[in-house]
Structure 1
Amino acid sequence: MRRSSNKADLLPLRLFGAYIAVFIGGTLFITINNLVIHGIAFEQLLKFNIPFLIISDIFLAFLLYAITYWRLGAVFRSFRRLGADLPKQVVFEKLMRFPGELSGGMILLALAFIALHHGIEIVSLQRRVDSWEHVVHLAQSVLSEVSLALILAVLLFVMTRRWLRSYAARLAMDKLPANRKHSAVRLLTLGAIIGFIITFSAAIRILPKAEEGWSAMSILGLPALYAVFSTSILAFYALELRKELRLLIDGLRKLADGEKSSLHRTFPVLSVHEVGRLASAVNEIQTRIGQSYLEVERQLRLAYAVQQKLLPKRLAVTPEFDIAASCQQCHEVGGDWYDVIPLGEHRYCIAIGDVSGKGMPAALLMSAAMTGLRTVVAQGGTAGDMLGRLNLYMYQMTRGRMYTTAGLAILDVSAASLEYAAAGHLDPYWIRQGELIDWPCSSLPLGMFPDTAYHGASRAWAPGDMFLLYTDGIIESGQAAGDMLGFERWEQELRRLSPERHAEDQLQALLGRLEHSEHEGELHDDRTVILLRWKGRL
C-alpha cells in the first residue's frame, strides 16, 4: 500500500470532531424541544438536564473515538506506513463496515443513556410517574430522545461513510469476494423504517398542542421537517447508488460497443453491497475479455504475418515493363489480395481480388484463394480457364456462403499483349497517352456457383501504355469523413500518371495524394492497387 498524504493522518481527529459536533447538536436539539414543546424553564434545565447532557456528549465522543481506534487503528497505521499490517481486502472491509457499526453502536449507547437519565430523574424525584398523565409525558420524552438518537445515528452513518469512502478509493479495489451478507436494498428499507419512526414520533409529540391553541401550520411543521430530513437522507443515499450504477452502465455500453480503451478501465469498488459486487463482476468480465482480446490479437498478428508471406515480395521488372503494387489493410488481417506469378520465361499472371467480409473469415478465404490461384495457374490455359478452375475450387470450400471478386491478367512479353478476364471485379483501366480506356469485362464472383464460365479479352501494348487494377476500397476512400473519393476524382488522379516515370514512383505518389486529400485517421476498407507500365520491346 502506498504512503498516504497528511490527510490520512487527520482522519481520526476529523472523526472525533464530527462526534463532538453531532452530540453537541443533539444537546441543542433536546434543549430546544424541552423549552418549546415541553415548556420546561431554562433555569430548571440548567440544574440537571444540560450539565448531564454535556457530560454525556463528551463521554460519548471519547467513547466513540476509543471505539474508532479499536476498530480502525490498524487501518490508520496501514495508511500512514509504506508497509501495511493488513491485507488490502481486510482494510477495505473494515472501512466499509465501520459506519454501520458506529451508528448501530451509537443507537445502543443512546438507549442506555436515555434509560439511565430518566432513571436518575425518577429516583431523584425530578420526574414524577405517579399518574397516567406523567407516564404519557415520560413516554413522549423517551420517544423524542429515541428519535433524536436515530437522527444522530443516521447523520453519523452518512458522514463517516462519505469520508471513509474517499479513503477506500485509495485502495483501488477492483474485486470483492463472493459475499451476500451486505445489501443496499436492506439498508434502504431500514432507512425508510427509521424515517417513519422519526416522523411518527414528531407527530405524536406535537398533536396534543392542538388543544393548547397551536395553529395547523405550527402542528404540521415539525413532522414535515422530520419527513423532509428522512427523505433527504434516503435520496442522498439513492443518488450515490445511481451515480455508481451510471458509471457501470456507461462502462458496459462502451464494452458492448467494442471500444478498445474500455478493456483497460477498472471501476473502483466503493461498497460491499450489490453495486460493489456488480463493479467487481464487471471488472472481472473486463479482465477476461481483455485476456481473450490479447489472445485474438496475437492470433491476428500471426495471421497477418502469414498473409504478408503470401503476398509477393519482389515484383517482376524487365527491360520491357515494370510493375508496382500496394495492399493496405484496414484491420490486422484483410480480404484484399494480389499476386504476380511467372509463367515461364516471357509470360506472367497478374491477379487481384477482394474477399467478401472482413476480419479473420475474409483473411482465411483470401489465403485459400491465393493458394488455389497458384495451383490453377500452374495448369495453364487462358485467363478465363484459370478463373473457371479457381471458381470451382472456391465453391467447393465455401458452398456459396462466401465469395471473392477477382481480376486476372496474362502478360505475354514476347507477343506484347495482355489478356484479361474478371470475376465480379471492378473494371481495370488501360491508360494510353493520358487517356483512360475502359475495359469492361464482368461476370459472377468466384465461389457463388460451381459451373460459372469466364471469358477474357486481349489488347496489344504500345510504348508508354499503363494497366491499372484496384479494389473498391480505393473508390470508398474518405467515406468515413464524409468525402468519398468516387470514380470521377479517381480518374482525375489517374490522368496525372506519366508514361515516363517508373511504376513504383508513380504508385507511391498516387497513394500519397489520396491520403493527403481524404484526411482520414484510419482505413475503413482494404485498398489494393497494381500498376503495370509497358516500356516497349527492345
Structure 2
Amino acid sequence: MAVRSEVCGELLRKLVPVYAGAMLFAVGLRYLELYWLGHLGVVEQRMSGLGTASVMLALWLLLNGYTWWRLRSPQQLSPGMSPVLFNERLAARLLTLPYELLVGLTLLTTLSSLGVRAGQLAREHGGWSDWRQEAVLEKLQLTLGESGLGLTVSVVLYLLLRRVLRSFILRLEPLQLGGGGSIIGPLIIAYAGTFLVAMMNLLQFVIASDHRGQGVNSTAFAVSFLFYFLFGITALSMIALEFRRDLSAMIRSIRELVGGHRERGPLMDKIPVISRDEAGELAMAFNELREKVGHEYEELEKELELAYNIQQQLLPPGDIIAGACRIFSWSRSEREVGGDLCDVVRLDETRTAIAIGDVSGKGMPAALVMSAAIVLFRSEIKRGGSSSEVLQRINRQLCEALGGESYVSLGIGLVDTLQGTITYASAGHLSPYFITAGERPIQIEGSSLPIGFDPEGRYTDVQLELKPGDRFVLITDGMVELRDRQGELYGFDRFESELAGWEPGVPLAQLVEGMLKKMEAFASGLGQDDRTIVVLEMQSPEGMPATAANVTLAGGGQLICQWLIPAAHGSERQVLQEMERLIGEHWPQTSRLEDMKSAVAEAVINAAEHGNRLNESRQIRVKLQIGTHLIVCRVYDQGAGFDAAEAKRRELYNTDRSQQEDPRGWGLMLIDGLTDYWETGRDKDGFYVELFFLRKAERSWEKE
C-alpha cells in the first residue's frame, strides 16, 4: 500500500514537536552549564533569553521548512509513480534526512558563529594586525559555546529522528534501498559528534578559566567531562540498540522460516528494509531467500494436496453395509498424508474383506508405501485364498519393493455373512478386539513379523464365529499412544474401558465419535501419531436396513440397488426415500444429496410421462450404483427413447425455446445442470437415461 501525502503530513506534524524538543533540550543543557560555571566563577557570560529564543525560533522554522521541501518532492512525483517505487523513494529520503540535518545544522551554526564573531572583532579592533590575544580568545570562547550548542542540537536531532522515522519507514515497507552503508557510520557520527561537543565545551571552560586568571578548576572539569562522557555513551547505546532490534527481528523471521511457523502472516511475507547498513543488506538477502523458499513451499503444498486427495480416494467410505454386517472406518493423518491404511472390499453377496495397516515412518514416504499396500491388497484379495495366503503374497511383493528400508504391519479379515464367521490373519499388527454384548473386549492374539522383513514369512489364520450384535475392532497404534500434556500415555487400559462401555444397538459412527472426542480431550490438542479404527458389527435380521431393492455387486465391490415402480405420478417418492437413506449411509458427508434426488426425480417423471405414457402396467426400473467416489443412476422405460447428443444440441443449447418440439427438454435442462454428466443408451431392460455424480474430496480433519 502506497503511503501518500496524508502520511507525509502526519510525519510533518510528528516532527514539529521533535524539533522543538531537541532545541529546548540543547538550550536547557547550555543554560545549566553556563549557570553552573558562572556559579563557580569560571565565566561571566549569561544567555540572552530574547536572543536565544529568536535564534531557536529561526532554526525551528528552518528545520520545518527544509523537511517539508524534502517530503514534497516525492509527493509531486507520486501520481505517475508506482506505489512500490514511491515508497522506496520516500523511504530513501527519510533515511538520509537525519544525516542532512546533522551536517547542515552543524555547518550553519558553526559558520554563522565564526562569521558573526569575526565581524565583531573587525568592527571593534580594526584590521587583523590590531586584534589582541585577549579579544580573540574571548570571541573564540563564545564561538566554541555557540558551535557546541549547535552541534548538541544536531546530535540530539540525529538520534531522535532515527528513532521517530523508523516507524514511518516500516509503514512504507520498502524492499530495496540500495547498499553501501554500514553500522560503523552511525556509530562514528554519534561518537564524533558527542566527542566534539565535549571538546568544544571543555575547551571553552579552559579558555574561560585562563582568561580570568583563575586556573582550571579540576572538580568542575571532571564533572563536565563525566557528563559529556555519559552523553556520548547514551548516543552510542541508542545506535547499537536500534541495530540490535533490527537483527532480532530478522532472527525471529529466520526461526519462523526454519521452524515452519507463520505467526506474522504467510510464508511469502518479507521484512521491510529500513536501513542501508549490514542489517538492511541482510534483510534484502533474507527476503530473496524467503521468496525462493516460499515458492518452493507453495509447490510442495500443491503436491501434498494432490497426494492427500489421491490417498483419500483410496480409503473406503466411512460407513458401509455389506450384507448382514455393518463396517465403520475412520482414519486421520497427523500430517497432510500419512502411513495408516484401511480398506473394505465386497467380494460377493456374502463375503467381504477388511484390512488395516500401518507403514513405518511418516509423511510422503509412508504415504507412497501405504498406497502401494492398498493396491496390492485389492489385487490379491480378488485372486482368492485365505487371509494368511493373501498376506504371504503381499509380503513377497513388498519385500522386493521396499528393500528392507521400510516395513508394514497389516491385518486382513475375511467376513462370511452366510457362515457367520471372520477369518483373521496379522503381519505384525496390533491385536484386534472381539466384543460380545455384555462381556469385556477380548484381544485376539496371532501376530507375526511385519511385511517387509522376510519374503518367506508365514502367517496364521484365526477364525471367529460372529453372532448378531458381535463387534470386531481393528486399530493402529496411534489410537493407544496418545499422550497428554504431562506425557501420560492413553494406553490399552483406557481404550479397552471405552470399548467395554459401548452399548448394543447404538450406531457405530456415534460410538466411534464419542470415543474420539474423549481422546481429543485427553490429548488437549497436542500433535499425535496417525490414527485409524475399523469396526465391524454383525447385525440381526430385524436390525438390517429394509429396502425395496434387489442388492447385487458391480466390479470392485460397488453396491447396486434396483427398484421396479409403476409409471405413475408420485411413484418416484419411494425411490427417493430409499435412495436418500442409502446415500446417507455410504456418503454421509456429501452436500450433493438434494441435487441427486432432484435429478433422479426428474428422470423418473420423464420416463413415466414420455417413455411409458403413464401406463401403470409398464414398469420403470431404477438402478442405483454406489461407489466410493462415483454414484451412477440408470432410469429405464419402455419408450422409443432419444439420442443424448442430439437432445443436448437441440434442446439444451437452444436459446429460443418457444418452438421446442420435445417436452422432455425442460427436464433435461434440469438434469444437465444437476449432474456431472449424463448419457442415454439401450440394453436388454430397455431404454435408459444414465446420471453420473462425482464425489468431491473433502478434508474432514480441517473442519474439525
Deviates more, 1:198-207 or 1:395-404: 198-207
- Residue in 2 that maps onto 1:440: 445
Q: How does 1:355-370 map to 2 (within 5 A)?
A: 355-370=359-374
TM-superposed CA distance for 1:339, in Å, is 0.9
- Residue in 2 that maps onto 1:304: 308
Q: CA RMSD in A?
A: 3.7
- Residue in 2 that maps onto 1:526: 530
The one-letter amino acid paired with 2:234 is S
Secondary structure in 1 aligned to 2:321?
coil
Q: Is the 8 A contact 1:348 1:412 kept in 2?
A: yes
The one-letter amino acid paired with 1:244 is D
- Residue in 2 that maps onto 1:415: 419
Q: Is the 8 A contact 2:84 2:174 kept in 1?
A: no
Q: Deviations over 1:216-261 (max 9, x none)?
A: 3222011111111111111122222222322322232233222133
TM-score relative to the length of structure 1: 0.85
Q: Deviations over 1:446-473 (max 9, x none)?
A: 2234333322222333443221100111
Q: Is the 8 A contact 2:18 2:160 kept in 1?
A: no
Secondary structure in 1 aligned to 2:498?
helix
Q: How does 1:241-260 map to 2 (within 5 A)?
A: 241-260=243-262
Q: How does 1:492-507 map to 2 (within 5 A)?
A: 492-507=497-512
Secondary structure in 1 aligned to 2:375?
helix
- CA distance 1:418–1:281, change in 2 (3 Å): same
Q: How does 1:91-170 map to 2 (within 5 A)?
A: 91-125=90-124, 142-170=143-171
Deviates more, 1:105-114 or 1:63-72: 63-72
- Residue in 2 that maps onto 1:176: 176
- Residue in 1 that maps onto 2:329: 325
**C-alpha separation in 1, matches of 2:313 and 2:262:** 28
**C-alpha separation in 2, matches of 1:239 and 1:323:** 65
- CA distance 1:156–1:476, change in 2 (3 Å): same
- CA distance 1:259–1:20, change in 2 (3 Å): closer
Secondary structure in 2 aligned to 1:339?
strand
The one-letter amino acid paired with 2:197 is I
- Residue in 2 that maps onto 1:232: 234
**C-alpha separation in 2, matches of 1:72 and 1:85:** 16
Query: When the two structures are aligned, how many residues end up with a matched partner?
Result: 529
**C-alpha separation in 1, matches of 2:261 and 2:18:** 42
**C-alpha separation in 2, matches of 1:156 and 1:465:** 84
Q: Deviations over 1:307-354 (max 9, x none)?
A: 111112376534532222111222222211111123344332211011
- CA distance 1:56–1:417, change in 2 (3 Å): closer
- Residue in 1 that maps onto 2:548: none
1:450 aligns with 2:452: no
**C-alpha separation in 1, matches of 2:406 and 2:144:** 79
Query: Which of 348, 353, 358 in structure 2 is aligned with 1:349?
Result: 353
Question: RCO higher in 1 or 2 (8 Å CA, sep ≥ 6)?
Answer: 1
The one-letter amino acid paired with 2:297 is Y
TM-superposed CA distance for 1:197, in Å, is 3.2
**C-alpha separation in 2, matches of 1:12 and 1:428:** 75
TM-superposed CA distance for 1:143, in Å, is 4.7
Secondary structure in 2 aligned to 1:260?
coil
**C-alpha separation in 2, matches of 1:160 and 1:78:** 24
The one-letter amino acid paired with 2:190 is G
- CA distance 1:412–1:190, change in 2 (3 Å): same
- Residue in 2 that maps onto 1:289: 293
Q: Which structure 1 residue ranges, 5 or more long, are not aligned?
A: none
- CA distance 1:444–1:189, change in 2 (3 Å): farther
**C-alpha separation in 1, matches of 2:291 and 2:265:** 7
Query: Which of 393, 397, 421 in structure 2 is aligned with 1:389?
Result: 393
The one-letter amino acid paired with 1:197 is L
Q: Is the 8 A contact 1:424 1:444 kept in 2?
A: yes
TM-superposed CA distance for 1:205, in Å, is 4.5
Q: Is the 8 A contact 2:323 2:417 kept in 1?
A: no
Deviates more, 1:97-106 or 1:24-33: 24-33
- Residue in 2 that maps onto 1:10: 13
Q: Deviations over 1:355-377 (max 9, x none)?
A: 12222222111111111212222
TM-superposed CA distance for 1:206, in Å, is 4.2
The one-letter amino acid paired with 1:249 is I
Q: Is the 8 A contact 1:22 1:156 kept in 2?
A: no
**C-alpha separation in 2, matches of 1:65 and 1:535:** 88
- CA distance 1:78–1:525, change in 2 (3 Å): farther
The one-letter amino acid paired with 1:297 is E
**C-alpha separation in 1, matches of 2:18 and 2:74:** 14
TM-score relative to the length of structure 2: 0.66
Deviates more, 1:225-234 or 1:15-24: 15-24
Q: Is the 8 A contact 1:263 1:286 kept in 2?
A: no
Deviates more, 1:361-370 or 1:440-449: 440-449
TM-superposed CA distance for 1:94, in Å, is 0.9
Secondary structure in 2 aligned to 1:231?
helix
- Residue in 2 that maps onto 1:424: 428
- Residue in 1 that maps onto 2:66: 67
Q: Deviations over 1:352-407 (max 9, x none)?
A: 01112222222111111111212222333222222122122222222121222111
TM-superposed CA distance for 1:475, in Å, is 0.7
Q: Which structure 2 residue ranges, 5 or more long, are not aligned?
A: 543-704
The one-letter amino acid paired with 2:390 is M
TM-superposed CA distance for 1:98, in Å, is 0.7
- Residue in 2 that maps onto 1:461: 466
TM-superposed CA distance for 1:59, in Å, is 4.5
Question: Greater share of helix residues, 1 or 2?
Answer: 1
**C-alpha separation in 2, matches of 1:314 and 1:69:** 69
- Residue in 2 that maps onto 1:276: 280
- CA distance 1:142–1:397, change in 2 (3 Å): farther
Give me the identity figure in percent.
29
The one-letter amino acid paired with 2:451 is L
- Residue in 2 that maps onto 1:375: 379
1:87 aligns with 2:82: no
Q: Is the 8 A contact 2:358 2:408 kept in 1?
A: yes
**C-alpha separation in 2, matches of 1:59 and 1:24:** 14
**C-alpha separation in 2, matches of 1:88 and 1:145:** 38
- CA distance 1:63–1:449, change in 2 (3 Å): same
The one-letter amino acid paired with 2:176 is L
The one-letter amino acid paired with 1:383 is S
Secondary structure in 2 aligned to 1:405?
strand
Q: Deviations over 1:290-311 (max 9, x none)?
A: 4433332222222111111111
- CA distance 1:293–1:262, change in 2 (3 Å): farther
Secondary structure in 2 aligned to 1:212?
coil
**C-alpha separation in 1, matches of 2:464 and 2:83:** 82
1:337 aligns with 2:338: no
- CA distance 1:455–1:237, change in 2 (3 Å): same
TM-superposed CA distance for 1:118, in Å, is 2.6
- Residue in 2 that maps onto 1:219: 221
Q: Is the 8 A contact 2:340 2:532 kept in 1?
A: yes
